[in-house]
Chains A and B, each alone.
Chain A
Amino acid sequence: MRFDRYVLPLLVLASPAFAQQAEWTAFHGDLASTKFSKAESFTPETVGDLERAWAYHTGDVSDGSGDVPETVWSATPVYANRTLYLGTPFYRIVALDPATGAERWSYDSGSRLEALTQPALKNRGVAYWESGLEGVCEKRVFLGTMDAELHAVDADTGQRCADFADGGVLNVNQWNEVNDVFPFSLLQPPLVVGDTLLLGWAGKDWAYSVAPPGNLMAIDARSGELLWDTGFVPEEMIPRTGTANIWTAMTADAELGLVFAPVSSPSPNYWGGERTDPMPHATSVSAIDIATGEIVWSFQHVRHDIWDYDTPSAPSLVDIERDGETIPALVQATKQGFLFVLDRRTGEPLFPIEDRPTPPSTAQGEVAAPTQPFAITPPPLGGALELPDVWTLADIVSFGQCSRDRDKYVYDGIFTPPSEQGTLFFPGTAGATNWGGVAIDPRNATLYVNASRIVQLIRLIPREEYDQLGSAESGNEEGYSPQEGAPYGIYLTDWSNWAGMPCWEPPFGTFSAYDLATGERLYETPFGRGQLEGFYGLRSWGSPTLGGPVVTAGGVIFIGASVDSRVRALNAATGEELWSDLVNAPAVSIPAVFTHDGIDYVVFAVGGNSILKPEVSDQVVTYRLPD
């Protein structure tokens, strides 16, 4: 292990300033992705007094009605260098004064505003690196673009760092050499470990069967040099498939020298007849040696994934006490609603995982995995193992349409394969959890998580019929997708009645807490409110969510994520709502909590996401307690 690359920066991070957790220097606050803040002033007794410190608009927003595609913005703000940094969906960086929201500088990458690999322009923020030395570009902010460029700028001025790659811009697509049907879109900021940037990419695995094979790249933060590149698709399968990429955030344990990579499903998403051979790293959480790129272990939580059950979020690290021993663990939340708790040194499960039979496929050429791993402890999120009953209210409004659908479509339990007849799909492709992941209070190994309960309908459409439909590609969460090269295109939609009401019984979203020492669920409560045509649902109905929670030392959870465009503070002990505020769109990002000049702040980037509702924004809202 090189001292300058890994150990020196860790000593900086281990300094007293870092120990106070005054900063929020990464997407999830820290390398361990705990989303835990040591801010103590936010307590169940005080958060009712929260007030807006400031609001700021980036100006980088589009509802898609004009020439510019719609924006989707899930950027967690980064607080470092006494500055708040944000990436925008127009691929700019803005640097703000944390106390006032005044803009210090902005940087425009000049990226094309074209939705090359996604249904919308997307950004999940920026990454921050510092060398510990003084001077120009010894502190840097990194921004990725949809057209595969990684930009490095000086954190103090916003000027490009000339010594990084080609004048401050790294063309990551130069390494996209196989099945390059789309560019490596850099929507998630890299993970910074020491002087190394760990970088995955996003693509469109719903559109193609043969696509770029997923990989993890390690890049020198100073020079932009590629240090290593590790692939997740077996060599012999690359001509037949692709993706199994890392599109979301990652986690690292610098002491173990491991990065934990949430690897997605292979392409195409919903038919795997050309990829029936084992792909042990696909839809997995994999531990990779940061120094060498070697895969140390891999835990595959979906075998032969034909549900787009990508590993959607960074695993969170926690130490668990068991029989007098401290076990370094990680928790991986999944779209299918399982919480896998593993020994992060070996990938071995810390709670029993059951191998249960799963239904076969009726699709042409498809061979579904006969069994799948079920994490029963801790209990699955939101009743993921059982399809919710038909919602009587929606059934009455639709004169029995929902009940007829239930009889018409296939559902033989979780992991029912997609079919030509139509399969009810629960949890749906947006997952019980998504990129928000979980928050963990490391002091008591308590985990907090929001989960959606969305039932979708998926139908495989034979190629000839699909081609005759002439349907435009819709994207990855809903609508038509061609799966070019497969015998089927697909149609995917939420299971709803003619009025747009969900056909399944609420709640549509929950918030839960778990004791990770015992695996026991402490509570599960409906969270947020749904909204349809302006009308809000009842509190007991909850809301689907995108985005994640933060937990603070004062015993408060901060979270946006819900359809109703509210940001909330919850009592961590009970899940009870303590405070909320209306913002301009669903806050689908993870908030950042930081201390600046002795004052605790919580900041939300409010961007919206069409998966929840057609409302977008460019708002940044920051709250603090009164003096």
Chain B
Amino acid sequence: MRILDLAALLFAVIGLVLAATAYFGPLGNTGVDGSIGALLALIGTVAATAGIVVTMLRPLPHRVRSLLTALVVLAAGLTALAAYFLMQFALAVAMVLALLGHVLARSLDQSPRRAA
């Protein structure tokens, strides 16, 4: 679980860096630098990363945790979709992997409780 959490966080942070690069264009023209679309993608990666970090750092009530997971899934999923239409394919892949890692980690979180 911990490894999956860390993997999800890693991909989310990679996504954040890629989104920031796409928006600010420090390495040159990205085709979307300065655009509203790239800004939305950047905001999405920040939200997804923050959500993953919060779920990792402290125990949360089950409902809050579920809500947070749903928000992370939404943020990562929409960011991946936005990244596809921004032709930022590496960002799209990173956010899909972050999403999968986070969902798997939460599923494994819940499995022992169901068994008990």
Contacts and interface: CB of A to CB of B under 8 A. Distances in A.
Interface of A: 533-536, 564-565, 582-584
Contacts of B82: 535
A501 to B, nearest CB: 13
Interface string B75-116: 000000010011100000000000000000000000000000
A534 B19 CA distance: 13
Interface of B: 29-32, 35-38, 82, 85-87
A536 B35 CA distance: 11
A421 to B, nearest CB: 34
A535 B29 contact: no
A535 B31 contact: no
What is the interface of chain B mostly: helix, strand, loop, or mixed? loop
B36 A534 contact: yes
Contacts of A584: 29
Contacts of B87: 536
A102 B31 CA distance: 26
Nearest to B36: A533
Nearest to A585: B29
B37 A534 contact: yes
18 contacts: A533-B35, A533-B37, A534-B32, A534-B36, A534-B37, A534-B86, A535-B35, A535-B37, A535-B82, A535-B86, A536-B86, A536-B87, A564-B31, A565-B29, A565-B31, A582-B29, A583-B29, A584-B29
A565 B31 CA distance: 7
B29 A534 contact: no
A534 B32 CA distance: 5
Contacts of A565: 29, 31
B105 to A, nearest CB: 31
B85 A536 contact: yes
Given A533-B35, A535-B86, A536-B85, 8 more contacts: A533-B37, A534-B36, A535-B37, A535-B85, A536-B87, A565-B31, A582-B29, A583-B29
Nearest to A537: B85
A454 B82 CA distance: 25
A583 B86 CA distance: 15
Contacts of A535: 35, 37, 82, 85-86
A534 B31 CA distance: 8
A533 B29 CA distance: 15
**Which 3 residue pairs across A and B have the least CB separation, nearest first?**
A534-B35, A534-B37, A534-B32
Nearest to A582: B31
A272 to B, nearest CB: 41
Q: Which residue of A534, A582, A584 has the most chain B CB atoms within 10 A of its CB atom? A: A534
Contacts of B29: 565, 582-584
Nearest to A564: B31
Contacts of B32: 534
Nearest to A533: B36
B48 to A, nearest CB: 19
Contact of B38 (A534, A564, A582, A583): A534
Contacts of A533: 35-37
A533 B36 CA distance: 5
Contacts of B35: 533-535
Nearest to A617: B29
A229 B78 CA distance: 62
Nearest to A529: B87
Contacts of A582: 29-31
A584 B31 CA distance: 7
Contacts of A536: 85-87
Nearest to A565: B31
Nearest to B29: A584
Q: Which residue of A533, A535, A583 has the most chain B CB atoms within 10 A of its CB atom? A: A535
Nearest to B31: A582
Contacts of B86: 534-536
Contacts of B31: 564-565, 582
A426 B86 CA distance: 29
Contacts of B85: 535-536
B24 to A, nearest CB: 13
Contacts of A534: 32, 35-38, 86
A508 to B, nearest CB: 16
A63 to B, nearest CB: 11
A584 B82 CA distance: 21
Nearest to B85: A535
A55 to B, nearest CB: 10
B86 to A, nearest CB: 6
A584 B30 CA distance: 9
A498 to B, nearest CB: 15
A407 B37 CA distance: 32
A148 B87 CA distance: 43
A533 B32 CA distance: 8
